[in-house]
Amino acid sequence: MRKIRDVLRYRHSTGLSLEAIARALSISKGVVAKYLRLASDAGLGWPLPEDLDDSALERRLYQQPSARAPTFAEPNYAEVHQELKRKGVTRILLWEEYQRTAGEASFQYKAFCTHYRMWAGKLKRSMRQVHRAGEKLFADYAGPTVPIIDARTGEIRPASIFVAVLGASSYTFACATAGQTQADWLTGLGRAFIYIGGVTELIVPDNPRALIANANRYEPELNRATAEFAAHYGTVILPARPRKPQDKAKVEVGVQVVERWILARLRHRQFFSVAELDAAVAPLLALLNERPFKKLPGCRKEAFARLDAPYLRPLPTTRFTMAEWKRAAVNIDYHVEFEGHYYSVPHALVRSQVELRITRGTIEILARGRRVTIHPRSHHKGYYSTIADHMPASHRAHAEWSPGKLMNWAASVGPATGELVKRLLLEKQHPEQGYRSCLGLMRLARNFGGERMEAACIRALAIGIYRYRSVASILDKGLDRQPVTPPAQAELALPEHANVRGPDYYH
């Protein structure tokens, strides 16, 4: 507008030629002639009115012809935009339906698509994507945190707000979590599926280390627990590209809405637990989903019932169990250690590497991707959880015996055998120290028979020897077949000595 004013001033005040004005203002002579013609058509001379600013001058110079009344029936572009989110619905199908309604006043297909694109271009950038019904659930955490006050100590810890948004309907879920750990992420996603009553084909989260082992731009790698979560719900997790928020623009807007509609309303409240904060979020979330759209018909709740809900996959029958994974080496005693407690594995895995899948109540042990055993989780440090089938045959046989069981066996052979076994167990500092001797006696009984075993024990008790090797020697030499005669004590004669007085001395 400044150069137009200069052209009018030079022409009317100085009388310069068009060529001189063009040279002075560094524009072409044709442009000078154009500006003078526009001013003449608008009835403007020099000086211009004082109240004529640049906007008013532009309107005077470039007067638009009055718009003609439309001769075509405009489609309901908002309805077209929503219907396109339904599976199987195409533009040509919607054009055919529009044509049947509008009749001769309808656009041709090309004009219909052009006008729809122009209308959609006026929406927010995040709305330009057409998300298929039931296809994607976008997830992220809100930036602001909420302080949680420990009522006992007064310590303040921040709680986070998890947000998930469905692509087609913008139906929103939000909940409070203690942090942004792997457990918090997966718990939030699981609660989101329960809230919407189904499972989407895809989950599009951010790139947190809690979920992604390798945040590669082209081939992101999920960590073990995240992959288990996806397999449990029968869905696919496709994280957004690093530093590309437009990949999850839907939830970026959802986070902003939650911050303004929920967190801003809770800013003056104090919370003493995450559960209390979560309870305060729930009613505001319901109001958010019932809040009418500004440019589209209905609200999030209505759009969800119409678009996403019919196409969600069913929830699994059981909820996902959060598990921690850890590698461990099998010790020579065929046990692995976790938090000070020892869990047995099959003895063939001694000195090999295994994986522990740790849940709140169980310890699952896998070797080469195959589960080999599962134990109830124990918090008793220094104790052992041992399954008998994991032990070698010799260890299992030893472990199956107890003092009572050994005594019952010995009594079944005979009273002398029972007495000998009793002495073997009682003479040791710990009964288990006598187990091997007793097991040796059992082997002798199998080899020589119970009758000879009882006879050998009678002889051993008679001569006062209570050892396995002595009984084995008696049986090996056949002494058990000979009669037992206790040794006779010879009468001792007193030697002649001055200090030996004899019984007569005391009379």
Domain identity same for 189 and 306: yes
Domain identity same for 156 and 216: yes
Residue 87 is predicted with a pLDDT of: 66
Q: Give a yes or no: residue 46 inside a domain.
A: yes
Q: And the tokens for 274?
A: 């995450």
Per the CB < 8 A criterion, the answer to whether 407 and 431 are in contact is: no
Residue type, 27: I
Long-range contacts of 222-225 (CB under 8 A, 24+ apart): 223/182, 224/325, 225/182, 225/186, 225/322, 225/323, 225/324, 225/325
Q: And the tokens for 213?
A: 């082992």
Q: Give a yes or no: residue 301 inside a domain.
A: yes
| 220-278 pLDDT, tens digit each | 888 888 888 999 999 988 888 777 766 677 788 889 889 888 888 888 889 999 999 99
Residue 104 is predicted with a pLDDT of: 79
Domain identity same for 88 and 169: no
Q: Give a yes or no: residue 461 inside a domain.
A: yes
Domain identity same for 187 and 47: no
Q: Cα angle at 39 between 34 and 45, to 5 degrees?
A: 135
Domain identity same for 330 and 299: no
Per the CB < 8 A criterion, the answer to whether 77 and 120 are in contact is: yes
Cis peptide before 147 (omega within 30 of 0): no
Average pLDDT, the chain: 83
Q: Give a yes or no: residue 207 inside a domain.
A: yes
Work out whether strand 221-222 and strand 335-338 pair parallel, antiparallel, or are unpaired. unpaired
Residue 481 predicted with pLDDT over 80:
yes
Comparing CA positions, the residue from 206, 128, 132, 207 lying closest to residue 166 is 132
Domain identity same for 342 and 375: yes
Domain with 381 in it? 324-392
Q: Cα angle at 78 between 72 and 80, to 5 degrees?
A: 75
Domain identity same for 341 and 411: no
CATH number for position 27: 1.10.10
Q: Give a yes or no: residue 129 inside a domain.
A: no
Comparing CA positions, the residue from 435, 337, 450 lying closest to residue 394 is 435
Long-range contacts of 314-319 (CB under 8 A, 24+ apart): 314/198, 314/199, 315/193, 315/194, 315/197, 315/198, 315/199, 315/233, 316/232, 316/233, 316/234, 319/190
For residues 38-48, give the mean pLDDT. 78
Domain identity same for 141 and 287: yes
Domain identity same for 329 and 305: no
What kind and span of H or E run contains 56? helix 54-61
Domain identity same for 114 and 152: no
Residue 159: count other Cβ atoms within 10 Å of its Cβ.
Answer: 19
- Considering just the CA atoms, what is the radius of gyration of the chain in Å? 47
486 pLDDT band (50/70/90 cuts)?
low
Between these two residues, 171 and 126, which has the higher pLDDT value?
A: 171
CA–chain centroid gap for 110, Å, is 47
Between these two residues, 2 and 188, which has the higher pLDDT value?
A: 188
Q: Give a yes or no: residue 502 inside a domain.
A: no
DSSP annotation of 278: H
Last residue within a domain, chosen from 11, 33, 61: 61
Work out whether strand 362-367 and strand 353-358 pair parallel, antiparallel, or are unpaired. antiparallel
Domain identity same for 387 and 411: no
| 307-364 pLDDT, tens digit each | 889 999 999 998 888 888 899 999 888 899 999 999 999 989 988 999 999 988 899 9
Q: Structurally, how many domains does the chain consist of? A: 5
Q: Give a yes or no: residue 492 inside a domain.
A: no
CATH number for position 142: 3.30.420.10
Q: Give a yes or no: residue 489 inside a domain.
A: no
DSSP annotation of 267: T
Domain identity same for 189 and 294: yes
139 pLDDT band (50/70/90 cuts)?
very high
| 88-120 pLDDT, tens digit each | 678 888 888 888 888 878 888 888 888 888 888
